Structure 1
Amino acid sequence: MNKVCWPYFDPDFDNLPERIYGPTCRVCIDNERIEDCTVVKVDSVNKQGLHLEMVQVLTDMNLTISKSYISSDGGWFMDVFHVKDENGNKLNDKKVINYIQQAIGTTGEIPGSAMVKTYANKAVFGSENPSEHTAIEMTGTDHPSLFSEISAALADLHCNILEAHAWSHNGRLACVAYVSDQSTDTPIDDPHRLATIEDRLTTVLGGTATTDEQPSPSGTHINPLEAVKTGGFLGGDIGIKTKVERRLHQLMLSVRDFDSPSIGLRSNGDGDDEGGRRRSRSPPVVCIESCDEKGYSIVSVECRDRPRLMFDTVCTLTDMQYVIFHASISSHGGFAFQEYFIRHVDGYALNTEGEKQRVIKCLEAAIERRVCEGVRLELCAANRIGLLSDITRVLRENGLAVVRADVATKGEKSMNAFYVRDVSGNEVDMDFVESMKREMGPIINLAVKYDTRRSSSSSSASSTSPSSPERSRFSFGDMFRSQIGRLSQNFVPIK
């Protein structure tokens, strides 16, 4: 009998690349080099989108990135981030430091990164454990009462809204909502019921259920402006904020919110950013130059600094199928300066003027989406079916438009945050916010984050004119007093 011989493979051979080149992803966190911030350095094997995943991990933790350097050469890259916590301090909590190291990992794979499934050229969130919530995505032409109408429609369809996020920009609205069945508190998976929800919401958005597709800025195909997509489930990690925010960026991009609106709500100047700072009208400046020697396009961005800015720009470039090879980001005196050396995934730089203008407009829109006009209201209430519909209806009936919303359910409480402004373009009189807080104090603790009152002179004039239109129009006390009998038992103080 002939002896069968097999080639010998050393078991250590599989680990040879790591032994030669080191781990595929190394994370170093340095608290000693710089006095006022923590340095996070990541060395990893390169892949498309990994820069965004690194930024997403830091953004998820509400860390501020004051400086960053990105450099990739061949199949390897290095990212350096200068970060601070929400209070502007270095990262001294060992749990936070350990989480960053674990989240970025030793292989370059980000645990829990968003899964995306595609149905008919529409992406919907998915999960390995589709057991808790049904995801609904909506895009449409915005108008002052649209978010209120969406909330009312979902309540009429016996959907319990567990989480919802909506952005309004340039006459467009994008919304992602997570719902369950009202009676069973389980995901809605019946195809006929999902079709009914889709048809109803499509009607609210003013669109049609089946229409031709049109090309998107990234070269793919998208559904028309008014569109609804149901299906897909999200498990217990839906609270990871940037997953939803990236999807909202994608939805806004798909409905071309970077184009000037012909109808709907327009931006009329000043606004507030997510960090609570008043923003004067200072639009971002985006320029694109060519680096012919290396075959890169150089994208330069100058704008007012704010939280999550780097995520928004990197997210947009990544979703438009551009690869970031090198980058330098810094902030000083309230302004941010960003420079990206990019190529398209096909390996080419931006060669045509039309492509350059498209990238410029999309980046400008991505920066502006998060900057909201008006006043931020935060309400905490005992959760019940139809609560969101009731609150948004009260705002709508009193001439206030919701330009952005973040709604989440924590246990038996519903946490609601709205940016609201007057549909006529006037500013909300903050004196009446204080009046309403005094009147509703025993039953509701309303947090008002941003003061957008007029100049002191106009405020004084308003206070001495009880019959002025602004005073009578924007009385938050009157707004909620008419609803107090029905809503009072549902509100609880914020703890």
Structure 2
Amino acid sequence: MEATMSYSQNIMDDEYEKFIRRMNPPRVVIDNESCKNATVIQVDSANKHGILLEVVQILTDLNFIITKAYICSDGGWFMDVFNVTNQEGNKITEEPILDYIMKSLGPDSCFASSMRRSVGVTTGMDHTSIELIGSDRPGLLSEVSAVLTNLRCNVVNAEVWTHNTRAAAIMQVTDDETGGAIADAEKLSMIKKLLCNVLRGSNKSRDAKTLLSHGVTHTDRRLHQLMFADRDYERATGDGSDDKERPNVNVVNWQDKDYSVVTIRCKDRPKLLFDTICTLTDMQYVVFHGNVDTEGPEAYQEYCIRHIDGSPVKSDAERQRVIQCLEAAIERRVSEGLKLELCTTDRVGLLSNVTRIFRENSLTVTRAEVSTRAGKALNTFYVRDSSGYPVDTKIIESVRQTIGQTILRVKGSPEELNPVQQESPTRFLFGGLFKSRSFCNFGSVRSYS
């Protein structure tokens, strides 16, 4: 009976929301004239909890860089103004992209629908989604991918984050036999059991979880939710982390206006605004006013917030929790280690073999992005030495020779290694596992995180 009433209430809420949208349709203005070096996007809409995150999520998913933002959602109306550029720092001028923005945020959009608001899983049959959370350790990604390979599962997309001794991943896998989602209930049960065993390892003090579902989810937001629920923001006393490297987050109460004011200063990077807004939203805080400025090496964010119940931050314990959670949200995506990009023909077991080579050379993966496009694997790994020492360039060269100089490239800092003309004989032991020719232009392969 309660489930029926809840379902009926959800239908009524959705119908009411549609009515409000028909009476007050969102208005989107895209301006390429008023600002010299950015495209200005203004969104006006009826207000509701989570709408700010939904708009930021759409802009972030387009890989836009948000250089400035003005937020106002006091009362029943929401207004946001964003200065955005593409990854090269140029204005957004392509008509198909501008049309997509209008359709995604304008009157005919569904960004305020219950489907997007739920953050859950939408039905689909092209892959099975696996969510993982557990204790981080060297070689963990190698062990997970080896289990999937042994069960004839192909990892077509994946995102892996590590933070504060915890690791979370969302993997989209297909059944090698069918090329689609895994339908065999027994196989699904075996995947869940074996992956839980791998994640748990020898650490019985913290839980490890594996969730399986058919369909898709917003990967970045779900990773934030997984790590937040896992309390990765809690730091052990004397954990040795450098306070100077932490983001500068402060929370004070503005008594006259009954708001709490959150200020954040940290090194700028793409998707920073999404990460902070995502965390505040999932912590059930509403941003009423905000200013964001990310021009230059340092980003500045200021938000006037209240809890969803209308109250400001009530205690010092709550204030510390907000600070810790925002620090964690910013740090999760910070890429520690050397950036490696891999581009080659995709196949079952590719991720397992690459990460096994990393593990055998004492490299641990701190973050990874795995994607497959038109039969080609486009993967980005951030690696560091398992013992905590700086990465040895000789080890990196050995790994590249094993995998293939044209397939695995070094990006970022330390400076790119000089190419070695002679390929290692070890490389040919893999036969057809890795192709010797490059299948994509590495100049066009970027990590947007």
TM-score tier by shorter-chain length is 0.7 to 0.9
Contact residue 325 and residue 342 of structure 1 kept, 8 A:
yes
Shift of the alpha carbon at 1:488?
5.4
Cα distance in 1 for residues equivalent to 2:191 and 2:227: 22
Cα distance in 2 for residues equivalent to 1:321 and 1:111: 17
Contact residue 429 and residue 453 of structure 1 kept, 8 A:
no
Shift of the alpha carbon at 1:489?
4.7
Contact residue 358 and residue 399 of structure 2 kept, 8 A:
no
Q: Which residue of 1 aligns with 2:231?
A: 256
Larger Rg: 1
Q: Which residue of 1 aligns with 2:207?
A: 225
Cα distance in 2 for residues equivalent to 1:432 and 1:17: 60
Contact residue 73 and residue 325 of structure 1 kept, 8 A:
yes
- Distance change >3 Å, CA 267–CA 44, structure 1 → 2: farther
Q: Residue 402 in 1 paired to residue 365 in 2?
A: yes
Where do 5+ consecutive residues of structure 1 fail to align?
1-14, 118-122, 213-223, 270-279, 464-474
Cα distance in 1 for residues equivalent to 2:211 and 2:299: 36
Q: Which residue of 158, 164, 180 maps to 2:152?
A: 158
Cα distance in 1 for residues equivalent to 2:122 and 2:43: 27
Q: Give TM-score scaled by structure 1 length.
A: 0.77
- Distance change >3 Å, CA 485–CA 325, structure 1 → 2: same
Contact residue 138 and residue 228 of structure 1 kept, 8 A:
yes
Show the 5 A alignment for 1:310-389: 310-389=273-352
Deviation track 1:205-230 (CA, whole Å, cap 9, x = no partner) reads: 1179xx99xxxxxxxxxxx6311111
- Distance change >3 Å, CA 404–CA 262, structure 1 → 2: farther
Shift of the alpha carbon at 1:452?
2.4
Shift of the alpha carbon at 1:448?
1.5
- Distance change >3 Å, CA 155–CA 397, structure 1 → 2: same
Q: Which residue of 105, 121, 127 maps to 1:126?
A: 121
Shift of the alpha carbon at 1:411?
2.3
Shift of the alpha carbon at 1:393?
0.5
- Distance change >3 Å, CA 110–CA 16, structure 1 → 2: closer
Contact residue 383 and residue 490 of structure 1 kept, 8 A:
no
Q: Which residue of 2 aligns with 1:493?
A: 438
Cα distance in 2 for residues equivalent to 1:387 and 1:435: 18
Judge which range, 336-345 or 225-234, deviates more: 225-234
Q: Which residue of 407, 412, 435 maps to 1:445?
A: 407
Shift of the alpha carbon at 1:73?
2.4
- Distance change >3 Å, CA 361–CA 439, structure 1 → 2: closer
Where do 5+ consecutive residues of structure 2 fail to align?
1-17, 441-449
- Distance change >3 Å, CA 322–CA 367, structure 1 → 2: same
Cα distance in 1 for residues equivalent to 2:222 and 2:321: 20
Cα distance in 1 for residues equivalent to 2:179 and 2:21: 48
- Distance change >3 Å, CA 322–CA 480, structure 1 → 2: farther
Cα distance in 2 for residues equivalent to 1:405 and 1:293: 46
Q: Which residue of 1 aligns with 2:426?
A: 482
Contact residue 141 and residue 171 of structure 1 kept, 8 A:
yes
- Distance change >3 Å, CA 433–CA 195, structure 1 → 2: closer
Cα distance in 2 for residues equivalent to 1:357 and 1:262: 15
- Distance change >3 Å, CA 31–CA 330, structure 1 → 2: same
- Distance change >3 Å, CA 337–CA 487, structure 1 → 2: farther
Cα distance in 1 for residues equivalent to 2:251 and 2:439: 47
Q: Which residue of 1 aligns with 2:44?
A: 43
Q: Give TM-score scaled by structure 2 length.
A: 0.85
Q: Residue 485 of structure 1 aligns to a residue in which SS?
A: helix
Give percent identity, aligned residues only: 42
Cα distance in 1 for residues equivalent to 2:129 and 2:227: 17
Contact residue 170 and residue 261 of structure 1 kept, 8 A:
no
Amino acid aligned to 1:404: R
Amino acid aligned to 1:493: S
Shift of the alpha carbon at 1:376?
1.0
Contact residue 171 and residue 261 of structure 1 kept, 8 A:
no
Shift of the alpha carbon at 1:259?
1.6
- Alignment RMSD: 3.3
Shift of the alpha carbon at 1:446?
2.3
Cα distance in 1 for residues equivalent to 2:332 and 2:20: 44
Deviation track 1:136-168 (CA, whole Å, cap 9, x = no partner) reads: 111001001111110111111221111111101
Q: Which residue of 2 aligns with 1:173?
A: 167
Deviation track 1:104-129 (CA, whole Å, cap 9, x = no partner) reads: 12166318996587xxxxx8x4224x
Q: Which residue of 2 aligns with 1:274?
A: none
- Distance change >3 Å, CA 136–CA 17, structure 1 → 2: closer
Cα distance in 2 for residues equivalent to 1:17 and 1:148: 50
